[in-house]
Chain A
Amino acid sequence: MDKIFTKNIEHESAVKHVTGKAIYTDDISEPKNLLHAVIGYSNCSKGVIKKIDYKDVLSSEGVVDIITEKDIEGINDVGPIFKGDKIFTSKNIEYYGQPIFAVIAKTNNLAKKAALKVKIDLKISKPIVSIEEALKKKSFVLKPKHLTRGNIKYGFKKSNNILKGKLYSGGQDHFYLEGQIAMTIPQEDNNFLVYSSTQHPSETQQIIGKVLKQNYNSIHVIVRRIGGGFGGKETQSFLFAAITSIAAKKLSKPVKLRVDRDDDMIMTGKRHDFLFDYEVGFNNSGEILALKIMMASRCGISPDLSGAINDRAIYHIDNAYFLPNIEINSYRCKTNTVSNTAFRGFGGPQGMFCIENIIENIAQKLNREASEIRKINFYKDKIKNTTHYGMRITDNVIEDIFNKLIKKSNYKKRRAEINNFNKKNKVLKKGIAITPVKFGISFTTTHLNQGGALVHIYTDGSIHLNHGGIEMGQGLMTKLALVASNEFGLYYENIKISSTDTEKVPNTSASAASATTDINGAAIVNAINNIKSGLNEFIYDYFKTNSKIKYENNFVYFDKRKISFKELINTAYLNRIPLSSSGFYKTDKINVNTKTLQGRPFLYFTYGAAVTEVIIDKLTGENKILQVDIIHDVGNSINKRIDKGQIEGGYIQGLGWLTTEEVSWKSNGVLATHSPSTYKIPTAGETPFKFNVEIYDHGFNKEKVINRSKAVGEPPFMLAISSFIALKDAVYNANKGKNSENLIAPATAENILKSLH
């Protein structure tokens, strides 16, 4: 498990990506008689359907059929853990974009044309749209949760200073470049083959089974790769795969549903926006002694994953800081908007956003250098090392990373230069910030922390690798092929990466929570060890040896002999030795009390820090990222090229969340930003050319994770909080030292201008 992977190869599909040969769901050769589905959805956010007239839809060119709630044999619900995500509604409209029917036609265009012809008679009523309204009306999707530690009253009493305020972080659309898509192909015996762009094939299978009222073993889901997920295809993909399957079963024809970009943005959930109300007590050196937080998020119409997301926000309110006395009240608000869902960081970014703003506000209040206040509050090694949920931190490297980054980025010198610049410039003002990241790795829902694999060796010595993870660009397949190559001592080229397939590896968890490599990698090692122990037995027996056996460079070494792996396999086959095995892994050590949230939800933490320097225009609020410096801990990396990509990409995606990406709801609950013309994710211009990313050179996972590496998918997203805090600093500097508490996220030019005094 602790071997070093030295070969920093490129993404396994890189050549296919650049030549256009990588196959995504919509690129699969279409089966004969393929039909296309398009969903008809509500255009108001709350109301009752009085009458629907499908006449014009059905008579529209190319239409074969429509499907509605009546066509569902099983349950009309695609909710993952909790119910509440209806496939079709026939009566009550609960959010804008709620599916009512699907048209099945000969082409996608004809289906969409027909869907637009529906006539719906509605009685519209007043929706709950904002978090504030939901709080006022006590409208929740799940019960509020509370967490306390220490003695909050005592903490405030000891504090020389108390600050109160409100904070807001906005939503975020995933904007995976490949939109939602699914295709279902009927097989014999009423079985169905489903291609879906999903992060979670097993649950896709289970949900289709429940929707069609069939055993799970009759549903076969295959995913080779998806064009970006970011959490947006963890549960949001189920609706589409369910609909193609209902239609395919009803019509006994293959059915594809490729969702138009605008419809995708309207019909699928986003990152939860959060409202925070805080009161913090601290001493004159800036040490936090008491913190009381009300956090409320817009969950939309159903629970979906909102419980776990809000839990994770609670778990990350500390970020890297010791909070001795704390009281958290978390509200999961139900609104008449599409159900919000998983998105990279899964509540973690929101929790960290809150504490980083609070710390910045403390620094401003005390007129102190914010990086010092951060350091004062860091978790320590021997004392102050237990989180507010009772987990002892044993792998803390934040102080080392932080100090190295301050040095490497010339933070202090640049701070002085910025002060100088700001004195000289009337309109343009600069700001800088360094913020840390500590992010917990593991699904907080303990049972999800399991993975499976299936490894075959064919008689020519080539390997076929199967596991439960989904390739969504994060380089999972590359890393796992490296793991297999390392375990077998084979060149990487001998490992065949395959589609993720529910018939190969069953009952998998979603590719989520950053832990996909950890979990599936360990399962692969388990499978390979099973095969190898059989092979080793065979070698002892057949070659009459008891020496150590080494698998290296396509050869197997024992005694003073060396035979090629291929030869060994062929000999083993002829001697009837099994050359295939499944593998399994579950994460040990973790457990948590779901009511009190106390326990050990995470196997380990990853750490990182970022410095961002920005400039703003006082007249317009326009702003620019000037420089980013990052040191991030990935443990002992399996592939640095891929890890670096995750760090850079995570930062820019986080930057979008905090700057230009504004999810805008009208007061009637209609989404105003449903296309890239109005919803602006970063372009190349947002990425500064001065963007220095370094992988922490002391990275080592204390836990026995594969290669002692660490998860890297989500954590770097939160490095981008430094961009927001830097903008906040620039506003503070522009305000000549008056606070910049009013800046909300996203820090659009407009929100920046608003926060200027």
Chain B
Amino acid sequence: MSRAHVDFLLNEEKISIKDLDTNITVLNYLRNNHELTGTKEGCASGDCGACTAVVGELKENKISYKSINTCITFLYSLHGKQLITVEHIQKNKLHPVQQSMIDSDGSQCGFCTPGIIMSMYNMYKNKIKPTEENIDKFLSGNLCRCTGYLPIKNAIKNMYSYKSNKFSKSKVIRLLKSIKKTDIVIKKNDSKFFIHYNLNSLIKDYQKISNGHLLVGGTDLALEVTKKRKDLKNIFYLGSNKDLNYVKNKNNNLHIGSATPINDILPILENIYPTFAKMFERYGSEQIRNTASLGGNIGSASPIGDSLPVLIALNSKIVIQGKVKKTLLLDNYFLSYRKTKLKHNEIIKEIIIPIYKKNILKCYKISKRIDDDISSVFMAINARIEKNIIKEIKIVCGGLAETPKIAKKAQKFLLNKIFNEENINEAKKIIKKEFDPIDDMRASKNYRTKISQNLLERFLYENNKIKSTLY
């Protein structure tokens, strides 16, 4: 029997909810139901970070913290978690991140400040070293239009030098433990919100419903609510499903549960494919990486989803679970623009990434802005080069067609060729004819084509140890 209410901690208060709209976002809940107006709406699309809050989850008796965009987080997905808002972190005296921000003059108009404070709080709680790289990474999801960021960066550099008041977490841990993690169905009018903790029960319920929406990070789905103002009738939250949240290294393959947040994948991925892991540093923002999943990226099948070309280049497979389970090469999954072989009663269960030990993996992302931007062109190259002969090569591009696509002709030409300028120049001519990209606000057709050619050149230069990348 499923439960019909969701329990979570709002700061340190246990809250039980069941009568609210199933589409309500955490941001609107905080502002409208609790008058906790410190959390701001800047964009309602997860791009500006003014709504940032921190979520605490119990992991092996400890609370692990991560920042989220509350504007695209559905309230009911908080079950079993602690939500920490900007109003809460000051106890007796200002929290170190707050005092440091004041002393560094990190706020001007102040509207983005609560969100930035919470991103800093996230760093602080996770004891992130304030290196330049980390600061940029952890701030990537917070826009500030006034300060130019320098004083905020200084505030982060200095924040660990302030003493913080130590508070016992035992109450929070006790409260979190008291929340049962069993399946939940919230019913409000004709809408439902499902939370499942295992795959079988999820599949069972999901099969029964024809218009279910799968939810993990909500970067796409929440915008249907906040921007298109749709009513989503049946939402299935996968973020708490233990059968979909894991990373395992098994028989030279990486098995990743489809709902595993990107940031949970990175520690393992860093050792296997450092360039792939590095690519993820420019994938959305910290808040997005804390919740978004590979399954979501594959499920929404965007032609500019950054992980897709890399996964295809690595000959990754996906496991699809419906009435039966089937395994599919990711490259065979895409049909046309945002259309795939996934049927309405199926879900992506797992992504299997083969581990190539002798190969070079390149992940080239070109976008207008470096952080938190969508690619205009993405190119992934998986190659094995022996004695300067290209023994194996897969070139996959995003942003050049309606789906992520293999540059079949170019890679065929390069196979077994000497890896030199002459052959790369020839491959450049071939790839130019291979795609017919579109013009849009991110990049023109000509630019996209030129980039696809020049990235092949970059590949050569990098192999020849010629400095050719800034990022």
Q: Are A652 and B37 in contact, CB atoms less than 8 angstroms apart?
A: no
- A425 to B468: give the CA distance in the assembly, Å: 9
Q: Are A473 and B108 in contact (CB under 8 A)?
A: yes
A683 and B371 contact, Cβ closer than 8 Å, known pairs A10-B105, A473-B108: yes
Q: Which of A19-27, A302-310, A500-508 touches B?
A: A19-27
The B417-471 residues at the A interface (CB cut-off 8 A) are: 440-444, 447, 450-451, 454-455, 457-458, 461, 466-471
Decide if A138 is an interface residue (CB 8 Å cutoff). no
A653 to B150, CA, bound (A): 12
Q: State whether the Cβ of B47 lies closer than 8 Å to any Cβ in chain A.
A: yes
Contact of B85 among A14, A20, A27 (CB under 8 A): A20
- Would you call A273 an interface residue if the criterion is a C-beta within 8 Å of the partner chain's C-beta atoms? no
Contacting pair B105 A177 (CB below 8 A): no
Quick check: A17 and B145 within 8 Å, CB to CB? Answer: no
Which of A14, A624, A676 contacts B143, CB < 8 Å?
A676
Q: Which of A387-395, A408-416, A543-551, A686-694 contacts B (4 or more CB under 8 A)?
A: A686-694
- Are B147 and A645 in contact, with the CB atoms below 8 A? yes
Contacts of A368 in B (CB 8 A): none
Residue of B whose beta carbon sits closest to that of A673 = B441
Contact B149 A684 (CB under 8 A): yes
Segment of B60-68, B131-139, B305-313 engaged in the interface with chain A: B131-139
Q: A684, B142: Cβ atoms under 8 Å?
A: yes
Interface members, chain B 370-396 (any A CB < 8 Å): 370-374, 376
Among the 9-residue stretches A64-72, A94-102, A226-234, A523-531, the one with 4 or more Cβ atoms under 8 Å from chain B is A226-234
- Interface positions, chain B 281-315, Cβ under 8 Å from A, are none
Query: CA–CA, A488 to B371, complex, Å?
Result: 49
Task: State how many angstroms separate the Cβ of A265 from the closest Cβ of chain B.
Answer: 10
Q: How far is the CA of A225 from the CA of B454 in the complex (A)?
A: 49
The verdict on B86 contacting chain A, using a C-beta distance below 8 Å, is yes
Which of B108, B132, B229, B466 sits near A689, CB closer than 8 Å? Answer: B132
Q: Are the C-beta atoms of B45 and A685 separated by less than 8 Å?
A: no
Q: Given A10-B103, A24-B111, A426-B461, is A687 in contact with B148 using a C-beta cutoff of 8 Å? A: yes
Interface pair A177/B471, CB less than 8 Å apart = no
**Closest-CB distance, A658 to chain B (whole angstroms):** 13
Q: Answer yes or no: B123 CB below 8 A from chain A CBs.
A: no
The yes or no answer to B102 lying at the interface (CB within 8 A) is yes
Bound Cα distance A231, B413 (Å): 55
**B39 to chain A: which residues have CB within 8 Å?**
20
What is the chain A residue whose CB lies nearest that of B144?
A: A177
Q: Given known contacts A116-B229, A474-B108, A622-B470, is B147 in contact with A675 (CB within 8 Å)? A: no
Which residues from A are CB-within-8-Å of B90?
19
Q: Does B140 contact A (CB under 8 A)?
A: yes
Say yes or no for B190: interface residue by CB 8 A criterion.
Answer: no
At the interface with chain A, which of B112-120, B192-200, B258-266, B353-361?
B112-120
Quick one: given A18-B107, A648-B150, A687-B153, are A177 and B470 in contact (CB under 8 Å)? no
The stretch that binds B, out of A82-90, A552-560, A590-598, A747-755, is A747-755
Report A661-694 CB contacts with B as 1/0, cut-off 8 Å: 0101000000011011110111111110101010
Cα distance A689–B148 when bound, in Å? Answer: 11
Of A355-363, A580-588, A613-621, the segment with at least 4 beta carbons within 8 Å of chain B is: A613-621
Q: How far is the CB of B14 from chain A (nearest CB, A)?
A: 22
Interface centre among B39, B50, B107, B468 (most CB of A within 10 A): B107
- The distance from the CB of A268 to the nearest CB of chain B, in whole angstroms, is 15
A753 to B444, CA, bound (A): 12
On whether the beta carbons of A227 and B143 are closer than 8 Å, the reply is no
List chain A residues, Cβ under 8 A from B147: 645, 648-649, 652
Interface residue? A73 (CB, 8 A): no
Q: Is A487 an interface residue (CB 8 A)?
A: no
- Residues A681 and B145 in contact, CB atoms below 8 Å apart: yes
Q: Is the CB of A261 within 8 A of B42?
A: yes
The CA-CA distance from A689 to B454 in the complex, in Å, is 30
Minimum distance in angstroms from A651 CB to a CB of chain B: 6
Residues from chain A with Cβ under 8 Å of B470 in the complex: 428, 615, 617, 622-624
Expressed in whole angstroms, the minimum distance between the Cβ of B233 and any Cβ of chain A is 15
B143 cross-chain contacts in A, Cβ below 8 A: 175, 177, 676, 681, 683
Closest CB of chain B to A716's CB: distance in Å?
9
Q: In the complex, are the beta carbons of A680 and B368 less than 8 A apart?
A: yes
A178-B144 Cα distance, complex, nearest whole Å: 11
- Which A residues are CB-close (under 8 A) to B48? 177, 261, 676
Say if the beta carbon of B184 comes within 8 Å of chain A: no
Verify B98–A19 contact, CB threshold 8 A. Answer: yes
Asked whether, in the complex, the Cβ of A20 is within 8 Å of the Cβ of B114, the reply is yes
Contact for A619 among B97, B112, B458, CB less than 8 A:
B458
Q: Select which of A652, A687, A748 is within 8 A of B368 by beta carbon.
A: A748
Docked CA distance A228–B266 (Å): 36
Which residues of A lie under 8 Å from residue B106 when comparing CB positions?
18
Residues of chain A contacted by B274 (CB below 8 angstroms) = none
Residue pair B469, A652 in contact (C-beta under 8 Å): no
Interface centre among B108, B153, B440 (most CB of A within 10 A): B108
The residue of chain A having its C-beta at the shortest distance from the C-beta of B23 within the complex is A109
Q: Does A179 contact B (CB under 8 A)?
A: yes
Taking the complex as formed, is B4 at the interface, i.e. its CB lies under 8 A from any CB of chain A? Answer: no
- Taking a contact as CB atoms under 8 Å apart, the answer to whether B107 and A11 are in contact is yes
A15: interface (CB < 8 Å): yes
Name the distance in Å between A680's Cβ and chain B's nearest Cβ: 4
A24 to B106, CA, bound (A): 18
Query: Could you tell me if B149 and A682 are in contact, using CB atoms closer than 8 angstroms?
Result: yes
A22-B110, A645-B151 known; A675 vs B132 contact (CB < 8 Å): no
> Do the beta carbons of A664 and B441 come within 8 Å of each other?
yes
8 Å CB contact of A644 from B31, B36, B105, B117:
B105
Inter-chain contacts of A21 with B (CB < 8 A):
38, 87
Contacts of A749 in B (CB 8 A): 366, 368
B229 engages A113 (CB within 8 Å): yes
Chain A residues lying within 8 Å of B163, measured Cβ to Cβ, are none
Given A109-B229, A225-B110, A653-B145, verify A684-B153 contact (CB < 8 Å): yes
Whether B444 pairs with A750 at a CB distance below 8 angstroms is yes
Given A684-B135, A684-B140, A687-B150, CB of A620 within 8 Å of CB of B109: no
B40-63 vs A, Cβ < 8 Å mask (1 yes, 0 no): 111111011010000000000000
CA distance A425 to B86 in the complex (A): 48
Q: Taking the nearest CB of chain B, how far is it from the CB of A40, in angstroms?
A: 13
Contacts of A678 in B (CB 8 A): 374, 441-442
Taking the closest CB of chain B, its distance from the CB of A358, in whole angstroms, is: 27
From B50, which residue of chain A is reached at the shortest CB distance? A177
B94 within 8 A of A: yes
Is A562 close to B, CB under 8 A? no
Closest CB in chain A relative to B111 CB, distance in Å: 3
- With a cutoff of 8 Å between Cβ atoms, the chain B residues found around residue A16 in the complex are 110
CB-nearest residue of chain B relative to A175?
B145
Question: Which of B50, B94, B132, B369 has most A Cβ within 10 Å?
Answer: B369
Residue B244 interfacial (CB < 8 Å): no
| In the complex, B227 has a CB within 8 A of chain A | yes
* Interface status of A33 (Cβ within 8 A of chain B): no
Residue A400 is within 8 A (CB to CB) of chain B in the complex: no
Contact A683:B35 (CB < 8 A) given known A177-B145, A676-B47: no
**Would you list which residues of chain A between 401 and 440 have a CB under 8 Å from chain B?**
425-428
Interface readout for A257-270 with B: 1 if CB under 8 Å, 0 if not? 01011100000000
Provide a sorted-by-A list of 18 A–B residue pairs whose CB atoms are within 8 angstroms.
A17-B110, A18-B102, A19-B38, A20-B38, A20-B39, A21-B87, A26-B37, A116-B229, A175-B145, A176-B145, A227-B110, A644-B105, A652-B150, A672-B441, A678-B442, A682-B369, A683-B143, A750-B368
Known: A22-B110, A662-B368. 5 other contacts (CB 8 A): A18-B94, A21-B38, A648-B151, A683-B143, A687-B150
9 shortest interchain CB distances as A-B pairs: A20-B38, A473-B109, A227-B111, A652-B148, A17-B110, A473-B108, A676-B47, A684-B139, A27-B37
Binding site for A on B (CB under 8 A): 28, 31, 35-45, 47-48, 50, 85-87, 90, 94, 97-98, 101-103, 105-114, 117, 132, 135-136, 139-140, 142-153, 227, 229, 366, 368-374, 376, 440-444, 447, 450-451, 454-455, 457-458, 461, 466-471
